[in-house]
Structure 1
Amino acid sequence: MFEHTERMDENMVIVESNPQKFVSSLIETLHDKISQIQEEIKDCPTDELQQCEQWVMVLNEPLDVIEVEAGFIHVSNSNLKEKTEDMFCLLDSLQKSIAKYKSKQKEKMKEETINNEINKNEKLQFRMEQLDSQIKYFESEEKRLKEKIFTLEVQKEGLLTRLSEVAGMKVFENNPNVQDLSDTKRPMKLVEAFGELYDNEWTDALEDLLRKQIPERQAIENLKDILKTIFDLSCTSARNQRIGIAKCLLFDDTCTECNSDAVPQSLRRRMKTLQKEASMDVFPFIKEQIDRRIDREGLSEEVQKYADRCALLSWLMNVQDPPLVLKFAAHPGEVVNKTIFTFYTKSGDFIDFVVWPVVMYEIGTVLRKGVIQPQ
């Protein structure tokens, strides 16, 4: 910085070129350095800022040139070289302090940022744990409420079913006018099948007997007796079965009629439903009794087919609620009741004999007319 200078005495510096220009350049350099430091110390703490300002005030002190001679500069109170070197050392030290401070501040800010992020993460983690806990609680509540709703719905269905059963029992109990249309073995279907029995199997069996030279009326009576025997046995078996069910359910061996007051109405309905639903499972056992009673093996093939069909329909008729009834009775000479009978081969006003029975309920409702031969 100070090239080709030579010390003359304590207050003199020798400069080869223009001394005024040298001093001005030196002062300008110092001012630039001061301005740079002033910008840097803006972010310094209070204590260091005050110290820096004092340094800047020292650096800003003017250099009073007492005497300028050719090639010489005379500066008051200090040696120019030492003062400038001290100033530059001071400025370098100050810049290093500022850089160190900024580095610390940067680390501190970084640490604060990390801490803030950690705090945020911890808060978020805590909040997430709270939300997870709430979700688990709500899921548990949802499960509990669903189970409660399911239980209530089951209870509701049970009560509605019970109510429906009670109401149905009152409606269906011995009421022939109310039928389950989905039941293929309901009374009206059985009545239709009974009419087909007369048109088909009965006719075939009659023709078979007539071919054997049996008189027509005798053949008709034989077939009617087979039907009556089968129907009466089916009626007795069905009644005894209902009584047996009642005895088992009530633990009462003295029960003699399932329709008695000793049997609750709801239980009577269930007993009859059970009997009807199990009718086809029970039928083979009833059929064995029927075959022995009518001596089925001694009958011709056509008559056996007729008897087998009579057995099935008679059993199903007797497990209905209420059971169906066959009316065979009609005294010769009585006036023909055309509301319950049709004619066989001729018309007339008075009954000679019954060809085919009337199908009806016990209460008297006629479901299918019978067939008579008038006199």
Structure 2
Amino acid sequence: MASSFTRESGKEITFLKSGKAGKNSRSTDTINVQQRIEQLQIENAKLLTNRTKEMEDQQRLQQKIAVLEGEIAELKKQLQQESRDKEDALNRLSKLAGNKMKIGNPDIADLSDPNRPLKLSDEFGELYCNEWTDALEYLHKKATKGNSKFAGRHTIHVPGRQLEVQEQGSIAILLEALKKCYAISQEDAEHQRIAILHAVTGKSDYADMD
């Protein structure tokens, strides 16, 4: 019986020893976990500090970029203004030099003048080739039918052939037609003026052109 008790006591002692060892092991694990937590907290704090610093640096860089973009826009504006001023100065200088060259030199024409001699010559030539030729052809047909206004003959050169028409008589007829057109236009314009005044003011005591 004593040996049996001894065996049971030995088992209990062994169990108790093993339990004590387990407690020691759990205590060690708890300490290690706490140390790891503290280490992670320290690392997290460092990361947060670095993140805050990076955000501040990024904000400063964005502000600096905005300032530089504003300076670039201002420089571009100044460059455009200087380019316009330079172009205006060159134009004035060119115009001044051109005016000095044209003074006392009739061979140099002002190309900006719409009434320069060469331009007027071109316009009269176009008028002759287009409208004047058609009018002469019409008057020639009248002359060939024995119209008394074409008693004399004068040769008018028309591209492709010659028409024998009295030039002074042709001019007189065309002038009379022009004067008649002008008189009719004046009359119509006066009628329109009176109609507009009547429509705007409601008055009817204007001169009657009918």
CA distance in 2 between counterparts of 1:111 and 1:105 reads 10
CA distance in 1 between counterparts of 2:128 and 2:69 reads 69
> SS of 1:5's equivalent?
helix
CA distance in 1 between counterparts of 2:11 and 2:122 reads 141
| Offset at residue 152 of structure 1 (A) | 1.1
**Taking structure 2 as the reference length, what is the TM-score of the superposition?**
0.54
Kindly provide the amino acid, as one letter, of the partner of residue 69 in structure 2.
E
Change in Cα spacing, 1:122 to 1:139, as seen in structure 2 (3 Å) is: same
CA distance in 2 between counterparts of 1:190 and 1:118 reads 85
Change in Cα spacing, 1:171 to 1:305, as seen in structure 2 (3 Å) is: farther
How many residues end up aligned between the 2 structures? 158
Query: How large is the Cα RMSD of the aligned pairs?
Result: 4.3
- Corresponding residue to 2:93 among 158, 163, 174: 163
Higher percent of residues as strand: 1
Bigger relative contact order, structure 1 or 2 (CA pairs below 8 A, ≥6 apart): 1
- Corresponding residue to 2:31 among 101, 104, 112: 101
Higher percent of residues as helix: 2
Match of residue 66 from structure 2: 136
CA distance in 1 between counterparts of 2:68 and 2:101 reads 48
CA distance in 1 between counterparts of 2:150 and 2:85 reads 69
Match of residue 5 from structure 1: 4
**Taking structure 1 as the reference length, what is the TM-score of the superposition?**
0.33
| Offset at residue 186 of structure 1 (A) | 4.6
Alignment of 1:150 onto 2:149: no
Kindly provide the amino acid, as one letter, of the partner of residue 100 in structure 2.
K
For 1:183-202, what per-residue CA distance to the aligned partner results, in whole angstroms no more than 9, with x for missing partners? 87652243255457778849
CA distance in 2 between counterparts of 1:198 and 1:119 reads 92
- Corresponding residue to 1:212 among 149, 167, 173: 149
Match of residue 202 from structure 2: none
- Corresponding residue to 1:117 among 37, 42, 47: 47
| Offset at residue 303 of structure 1 (A) | 4.2
Match of residue 187 from structure 2: none
| Offset at residue 178 of structure 1 (A) | 3.3
Matches for 1:216-255 after TM superposition, within 5 Å: none
CA distance in 2 between counterparts of 1:197 and 1:99 reads 114
Alignment of 1:127 onto 2:57: yes
CA distance in 1 between counterparts of 2:69 and 2:27 reads 61
Kindly provide the amino acid, as one letter, of the partner of residue 96 in structure 2.
V
- Which structure is larger by alpha-carbon Rg, 1 or 2? 1
> SS of 2:4's equivalent?
coil
| Offset at residue 113 of structure 1 (A) | 3.1
Fraction of identical pairs, as percent: 25
| Offset at residue 216 of structure 1 (A) | 5.8
CA distance in 2 between counterparts of 1:94 and 1:108 reads 21
